[in-house]
Amino acid sequence: MTTPKSAADAPAPAIAIRDLVKRYAGEPGSEGKLALKGVSFDVPEGGIFGLLGPNGAGKSTLINILAGLVTKTSGSAEIWGFDIDGNTRNAKRAIGIVPQEIVFDPFFTPYEVLENQAGFYGIAKSLRRSEKLLEAVHLADKRNAYARTLSGGMKRRLLIAKAMVHSPPILVLDEPTAGVDVELRRLLWELVNSLNDDGVTVVLTTHYLEEAEELCDRIAIINHGELIANKPTRELVDMAREKIVAVTVDKDLVAPPQHAAFIKAELAGPRAVEVTYNKDQMSAGQVLAILQEQGLAIEDVTTREADLEDVFVSLTSAA
């Protein structure tokens, strides 16, 4: 049974990663691929932590090290206070991994999938929670259906239930909404929030930046095997200083208006202009005043704040 991660009063991180390095073996005479280059960060207890990065950045390698599927080259990782090398058994019991790939025997029913998984963890029949987990992921009515007959979204939810059979305090979801429609994505968001409300620390990897911005309290970004950002989500979004004012004017334009204070100005239509400016140096009102000084009458105005996608592109393109 998993014990508390720390006896100290001060809260310890749910996951602590220090100088983690992974180099895959290459061809004879070559050094091999360096997938992680001394990554260090903490996952705070009780929140939803986003782990983002482009394809090949090192996210899957890091998760597979935590899951015990990949052996690190050097560095350390602790899960709920248990070192993954020195206390492997308890470290594995403290974490549930929901893989991106849908993996379970299609000829078992959802109930059997959960019962078998509980058996792998040595959980006594009287302590198993298969029925409650099926209810939590809205699959109670599919209890006795073959897993192969479930829809893609149902299979995703069954994977989450499977990862929770041993009641881990930490749940890692690797691209949980990849390839699902908008409605199902929202349903999965609700499920993740519900688990977090129940005290589960969630680590989420996703390519949907809207998803990360919506769900995560804190976000780390990995690129080329290096940690390039680790901040509360709001602070990360606030790193983007650019803002856009989209303006409709009273006459056709052959070229966008220019001014030294604009970062750029582009035509979005015969009478539509989009002006990008630094919100630390000027306001939308000042942008409109400049356009009016250039003889343009404003008929409509909309603005767009920077979002996580802007920051992500900026950071990963610079790294």
**Which tens digits make up the pLDDT trace of 131-169?**
999 999 999 999 999 988 998 888 989 999 999 999 999
Where on the phi/psi map is residue 9: left (φ > 0), alpha (ψ -120 to 50), or beta?
A: alpha
Let me know: does 198 contact 133? Beta carbons within 8 Å: no
- The pLDDT assigned to 4 comes to 59
- Convert the pLDDT of each residue in 8-31 to its tens digit: 545 789 999 999 999 998 777 777
By mean pLDDT, which of 115-129, 230-244, 266-280 is the weakest? 230-244
In this structure, the strands spanning 272-278 and 264-269 are: antiparallel
> What is the token pair recorded at 258?
């220019």
- Convert the pLDDT of each residue in 61-100 to its tens digit: 999 999 999 999 999 999 999 999 999 999 999 999 998 8
Angle of the 182-197 helix axis to the 152-163 helix axis, nearest 10: 20
The domains located in the chain, with CATH, are 240-318 (3.30.70)
**In sequence order, which residues have a C-beta less than 8 Å from that of residue 318 and are 6 or more positions away?**
none
- Convert the pLDDT of each residue in 26-45 to its tens digit: 777 777 889 999 999 999 99
Q: Is the pLDDT of residue 181 over 80?
A: no
| Sign of torsion over alpha carbons 131, 137, 139, 143 | negative
- The pLDDT assigned to 239 comes to 79
The secondary structure of 41-54 as a DSSP string is EEE-TTSEEEEE--
Percent of the chain with pLDDT over 90: 66
Report how far residue 175's alpha carbon sits from residue 278's, in angstroms, rounded to the nearest whole number.
33
| Per-residue pLDDT band at 6 (split at 50, 70, 90) | low
| Per-residue pLDDT band at 230 (split at 50, 70, 90) | very high
- Convert the pLDDT of each residue in 188-197 to its tens digit: 899 999 999 9
Report how far residue 232's alpha carbon sits from residue 228's, in angstroms, rounded to the nearest whole number.
14
Residue 309, classed as helix, strand or coil, is helix
